[in-house]
């Protein structure tokens, strides 16, 4: 009995000892924490930790890292970047204004034949070129226009377009307007010309220029030799194609040299004061004369007006098919393909 009581007393003493040790070990930390909480002011409470994002290393090891992202200050607003001028010539003739032409009903321009739409102000001109595209001469005309940062309208003969489609594409790529000048430069007012053959001259010309360009031409047309067949005028009106005559004819096709081309144009302009100028990128003397002529225009206070059509010319499928299948053409439909699809280097 005495042994049992002794054992019980020893167990109680041991339990009390363990409890005492635990109490004295844990008490300072709890008291310290309570004291710190009581002394802290609301403004001193630490903010929540900043957001953390995961950033992956390279895909080589696919190790994921985390890092603290600091808030970035707001970027200062930047001034708008203005487009740089593409004209390298500070004294270029340039383009004074651009007009958009609604060709509905087939309006006519050029006071030699069409009096209704006199839209040019004094000393304003429109540069136009017929009969191209043609090797050497058309590229030279393009260079002269580019050097003076100005523009023109090119009335292409359909056959010539099929001969040199790459040159006509250069005309379009340079930002000029490409119109049409019939299929073969036939006089549509000729004695043997019928309404049906005149229509074919028109439509084959439209389709040939489209074939060369790979896209629809402008709905702008000029009659060969400025011979306006009445039925053809009505037809073009129904097709919503604008017709161009001129105010000043360069007569470059019969000029003996480039100086004569320049003098003829400037004499006509000084007399009329403005106008649509008729030239030919087919003619060598025009290509030679154009740099001087453009400088003379600038010196004389003349300004170039660009004419842009509101829409394009929709060709007729049956005439498109004629161009693609005509065995007399020096080109075939494969000419519309990019050169990389025709010629490839396999060794070098």
CA distance 310 to 198: 26
State the burial class of residue 169 (Cβ atoms within 10 Å of its Cβ: 0-12, 13-18, 19+).
Answer: middle
Q: Is the pTM of this model over 0.75?
A: no
Could you tell me which residue, 331 or 202, shows the higher pLDDT?
202
CA distance 22 to 24: 6
CA distance 63 to 109: 73
31 pLDDT more than 60: no
Inter-residue contact 214 to 225 (CB < 8 Å): no
CA distance 159 to 283: 16
Q: What is the pLDDT of residues 174-188, one digit of tens each?
A: 999 999 999 999 999
Q: Give the pLDDT confidence score for residue 87 in this predicted structure.
A: 86
Per DSSP, 10 falls in state: H
| Residue reference for tokens 């509905």 | 104
The token pair that represents 313 in the structure block? 């010319």
CA distance 325 to 327: 6
**Residue 105 φ/ψ region, left for φ over 0, alpha for ψ in the -120 to 50 degree band, beta for the rest:** left
For residue 256, report the phi and psi dihedrals to the nearest 5 degrees: -80, -25
Could you tell me which residue, 54 or 318, shows the higher pLDDT?
318
CA distance 69 to 55: 11
Cα 246 from chain centroid?
29
Query: In the CATH scheme, what is the homologous superfamily, with its name and number, of domain 108-317?
Result: Glycoside hydrolase/deacetylase (3.20.20.370)
Inter-residue contact 240 to 216 (CB < 8 Å): no
The token pair that represents 267 in the structure block? 């004499």
| Cis omega (within 30 of 0) for bond into 90 | no
- Residue 309: which H helix or E strand, with range? strand 303-309
Could you tell me which residue, 316 or 14, shows the higher pLDDT?
316
Inter-residue contact 294 to 146 (CB < 8 Å): no
In angstroms, what CA-CA distances link 120 with 56, 111, 242, 306?
A: 66, 11, 16, 11
Q: Is 260 helix (H, G, I), strand (E, B) or coil?
A: helix
% of the chain exceeding 70 in pLDDT: 68
Q: What is the pLDDT of residues 115-172, one digit of tens each?
A: 889 999 999 999 999 999 999 999 999 999 999 999 999 999 999 999 999 999 999 9
Q: Give the pLDDT confidence score for residue 10 in this predicted structure.
A: 53
Q: Give the pLDDT confidence score for residue 19 in this predicted structure.
A: 52
Q: Give the pLDDT confidence score for residue 146 in this predicted structure.
A: 98
Inter-residue contact 216 to 241 (CB < 8 Å): no
Q: Give the pLDDT confidence score for residue 80 in this predicted structure.
A: 37
In angstroms, what CA-CA distances link 304 with 118, 124, 266?
A: 15, 6, 14
Find, among 286, 300, 208, 206, the residue nearest to 249 by Cα: 286
Q: Give the pLDDT confidence score for residue 78 in this predicted structure.
A: 42
Kindly report the average pLDDT of the chain as a whole number: 80
231 pLDDT more than 90: yes
Lowest mean pLDDT among 29-43, 163-177, 306-320: 29-43
Could you tell me which residue, 330 or 115, shows the higher pLDDT?
115
DSSP string, 279-304: EETT-HHHHHHHHHHHHHHHHTT-EE
CA distance 134 to 165: 10
Could you tell me which residue, 33 or 303, shows the higher pLDDT?
303
Return the number of other C-beta atoms located less than 10 Å from residue 341's C-beta.
8
In angstroms, what CA-CA distances link 245 with 32, 108, 124, 299?
A: 103, 7, 16, 26
CA distance 94 to 297: 11
Q: What is the pLDDT of residues 69-109, one digit of tens each?
A: 333 334 433 433 434 457 888 999 999 999 999 999 999 99
Find, among 269, 276, 266, 268, the residue nearest to 108 by Cα: 276
Could you tell me which residue, 25 or 266, shows the higher pLDDT?
266
| Residue reference for tokens 């001259």 | 201
């Amino acid at each position: 009995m005495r042994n049992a009581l002794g054992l019980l007393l020893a167990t109680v003493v041991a339990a009390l000892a363990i409890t005492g040790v635990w109490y004295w070990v844990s008490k300072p930390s709890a008291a310290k924490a309570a004291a710190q909480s009581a002394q802290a002011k609301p403004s001193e409470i630490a903010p929540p930790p900043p957001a953390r994002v995961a950033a992956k290393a390279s895909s080589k090891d696919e190790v994921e890292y985390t890092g603290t992202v600091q808030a970035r200050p707001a970027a200062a607003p930047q001034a708008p970047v203005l487009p740089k001028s593409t004209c390298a010539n500070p004294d270029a003739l340039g383009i004074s204004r651009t007009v958009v032409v609604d060709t509905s009903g087939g309006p006519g321009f050029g006071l030699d034949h069409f009096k209704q739409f006199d839209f040019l102000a004094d000393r304003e001109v429109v540069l136009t070129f017929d009969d191209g595209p043609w090797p050497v001469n058309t590229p030279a005309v393009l260079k002269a226009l580019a050097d003076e940062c100005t523009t023109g309208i090119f009335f292409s003969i359909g056959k010539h377009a099929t001969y040199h489609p790459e040159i006509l594409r250069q005309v379009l790529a340079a930002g000029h307007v490409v119109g049409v000048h019939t299929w073969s430069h036939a006089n549509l007012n000729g004695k043997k010309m019928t309404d049906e053959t005149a229509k074919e001259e028109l439509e084959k010309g439209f389709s040939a220029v489209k074939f060369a360009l790979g896209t629809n031409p402008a709905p702008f047309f000029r009659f060969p030799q400025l011979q306006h067949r009445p039925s053809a005028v009505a037809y073009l009106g129904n097709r919503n194609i604008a017709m161009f005559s001129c105010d000043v004819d360069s007569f470059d096709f019969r000029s003996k040299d480039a100086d004569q081309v320049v003098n003829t144009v400037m004499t006509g302009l000084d007399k009329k004061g403005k106008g649509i100028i008729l030239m030919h990128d087919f003619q060598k003397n025009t290509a030679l004369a154009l740099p001087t002529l453009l400088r003379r225009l600038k010196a004389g206070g003349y300004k170039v007006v660009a004419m842009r059509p509101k829409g394009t010319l929709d060709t007729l499928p049956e005439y498109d098919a004629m161009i693609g299948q005509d065995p007399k053409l020096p080109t075939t439909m494969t000419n519309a393909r990019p050169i990389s699809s025709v010629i490839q280097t396999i060794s070098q």
